[in-house]
Amino acid sequence: MPIYPHNTLPIHAVPRIRTRVLVSSERGAVETAVWEQWIEADGYIPLHYHEVEEVLVFLNGEVELTICDEVTVVAAPATVIVLSGQIHGLKSVGLQQVHLMAFFPTAAPSIFSPDGSRRPPPWEDLGRAIAR
């Protein structure tokens, strides 16, 4: 049984977000991925979608969340289910860093821009942001 103490896993950082991959195909998972993320007070995750649903668990902070054409403010603690194919993105609001967990029912989730082109994973996304 593989055990991965979180403090032994790398945290990948780009200017607006940090990500630690807790569960993935690289760790032996077949059907699940879990990402832990921290978004700076002025940070964001650009508009995108996945071919599978995503469950976002907000542990700290507050975000403006866009799903399709609906924009709402979500304050932690809260959980949001984003259905497969729904275009979504978020930006931090307030002064606190946002801390969240993202759960996927696949070990290697793909990320797509609203136009259908592939996006890199968050830890490799160095600025291909989409205007919101």
In a domain, 122, yes or no: no
In a domain, 97, yes or no: yes
In a domain, 96, yes or no: yes
d(CA 82, CA 54): 5
What is the value of pTM for the model shown?
Answer: 0.92
Q: What residue numbers bound the domain in which 52 lies? A: 10-111
pLDDT of the residue at 7: 95
In a domain, 27, yes or no: yes
pLDDT of the residue at 127: 63
In a domain, 44, yes or no: yes
Which CATH number is 64's domain given? 2.60.120.10
Total domains, the chain: 1
Q: Which SS3 state, helix, strand or coil, does residue 94 take?
A: coil
pLDDT tens by residue, 99-124: 999 999 999 999 999 999 999 999 88
pLDDT tens by residue, 30-77: 999 999 999 999 899 999 999 999 999 999 999 999 999 999 999 999
Exposed/middle/buried for residue 72 (C-beta within 10 Å: 0-12, 13-18, 19+): exposed
In a domain, 60, yes or no: yes
In a domain, 53, yes or no: yes
In a domain, 63, yes or no: yes
Closest CA to 83 of 111, 49, 46: 49
d(CA 56, CA 100): 7
Q: Is the dihedral of CA 55, 72, 39, 75 positive or negative?
A: negative
111 forms beta bridges with 119
